[in-house]
Structure 1
């Protein structure tokens, strides 16, 4: 199913679905500390994390990365544990704790269609250093940078002995920030790719896709006039298709 991740937060009596990659020009609700904690919980329990971590652990074992962990199921388990610890710790510090302390929004805001490719690419890459504050202004992305340094430093507690130390830690910090930049580029352009693919989908498939709201995922590009909508409104739209 082609979707852009979103999460649910409480707003009065309504459950509002907020896209994790809203439009840069959209007027989206500010996230409270509770909202950021809910976003952390959603990311931490995401199937994408579990599947991606399992694949990465298998690939690391195949390439014999971190040879200190050994091979076999025990080696795979150690690699999987180290990777999932990295993911969950970074999500906690980078999505909830530091954004709450620094009053920063942990989401990525897309420029979207209508801007030149080079401008959108530069915007995506720059988000490693620049982020949006809760009041809508830009600031240094201290939440991302500090959370990366903290998590990669903590990994010295469970990485093999030969993978520990300052130089290894800084290498991991650099690699992680480059990975974040890559992720932002994907978030910027993936909805456009999805929209192109959807042009070739059948109407039946589109109706089925929109009715699968149980996963609490919402593609904002499917409803360009909306930035935050209630689940009831989404269900009504799906039923009328």
Structure 2
């Protein structure tokens, strides 16, 4: 069975949906993809241009979601979210103190973990969507890579490589936002608060994809170290 190539943005983004060749060159950039020679782990959710990714099974997706929820990158996201919320006294409105910062950090961890697990471990297997992020890499322009990374919030690939709406991420983030009603302060337990949390979660997903796109080498090294 042939392995899927790295997906590229759908035509709605004004970008080709044809997978890039392993030796495709960005015209005028002088940059060229090395051949795909490295086979990834079944639990890797970040695939760079040099890697060949096996088709993920349902159990692989369960493992990806659980692994990502306790990764160092996840912790960085929790800290960033809690720090932003604390600095500008934004939702969840626990107040501004060391104790309240701890509450914000716990809430950020609970929200992000629930979103990731529902998206990757539960909904992606049911809908046969591929939850991994396939890096475009430096063989493309920065504008293209930025557009591609942000588009992954709304678009993804199915297990057989077809483009589709990223229902898994959207619904997982919606569920995670809804669950905040059980542990956010009373003032944030309303429809407006839930919608705001959902929007912030989607923005956070976009930032995460941008980081993975432009710093995938560092991210890949961290993933490699996490295996040992």
Length-normalised TM-score, structure 2: 0.70
Check whether the contact 1:128–1:181 (CA below 8 A) recurs between aligned residues: yes
Flag the 1:125–1:48 CA change in 2: closer, same or farther, 3 A: closer
Check whether the contact 2:92–2:104 (CA below 8 A) recurs between aligned residues: no
2:41 maps to which of 2, 17, 24: 17
- Bigger helix fraction: 1
Which SS does the other structure have where 1:128 is aligned?
coil
Q: Which has the higher contact order (CA 8 A, sep 6+)?
A: 1
Residues 54-75 of structure 1: CA deviation (Å, up to 9, x unaligned): 4543553454445753455542
CA RMSD of aligned residues (A): 3.0
Which SS does the other structure have where 1:135 is aligned?
coil
Q: Show the counterpart of 1:126.
A: 151
Q: Show the counterpart of 1:215.
A: 226
Which SS does the other structure have where 2:118 is aligned?
helix
Structure 2 distance, partners of 1:179, 1:150, is: 15
Which ranges of structure 2 fall in alignment gaps of 5 or more residues?
1-38
Flag the 1:34–1:162 CA change in 2: closer, same or farther, 3 A: same
Q: How does 1:20-31 map to 2 (within 5 A)?
A: 20-23=45-48, 27-31=52-56
Flag the 1:166–1:23 CA change in 2: closer, same or farther, 3 A: same
Aligned residues: 188
Please state how far the C-alpha of 1:40 moved relative to its aligned partner.
1.6
Q: Show the counterpart of 1:157.
A: 182
Flag the 1:16–1:128 CA change in 2: closer, same or farther, 3 A: closer
Q: How does 1:59-98 map to 2 (within 5 A)?
A: 60-66=85-91, 68-70=93-95, 72=97, 74-98=99-123
Structure 2 distance, partners of 1:121, 1:33, is: 29
Please state how far the C-alpha of 1:144 moved relative to its aligned partner.
0.7
Structure 2 distance, partners of 1:150, 1:44, is: 16
Structure 2 distance, partners of 1:149, 1:110, is: 25
Please state how far the C-alpha of 1:39 moved relative to its aligned partner.
1.1
Which SS does the other structure have where 2:226 is aligned?
coil
Which SS does the other structure have where 1:132 is aligned?
strand
Q: How does 1:98-117 map to 2 (within 5 A)?
A: 98-117=123-142
Structure 2 distance, partners of 1:115, 1:85, is: 36
Q: How does 1:172-191 map to 2 (within 5 A)?
A: 172-191=197-216
Residues 180-210 of structure 1: CA deviation (Å, up to 9, x unaligned): 1122122111137x5xxxxxxxxxxxxxx89
Which ranges of structure 1 fall in alignment gaps of 5 or more residues?
1-14, 195-208, 218-241
2:168 counterpart of 1:143: yes
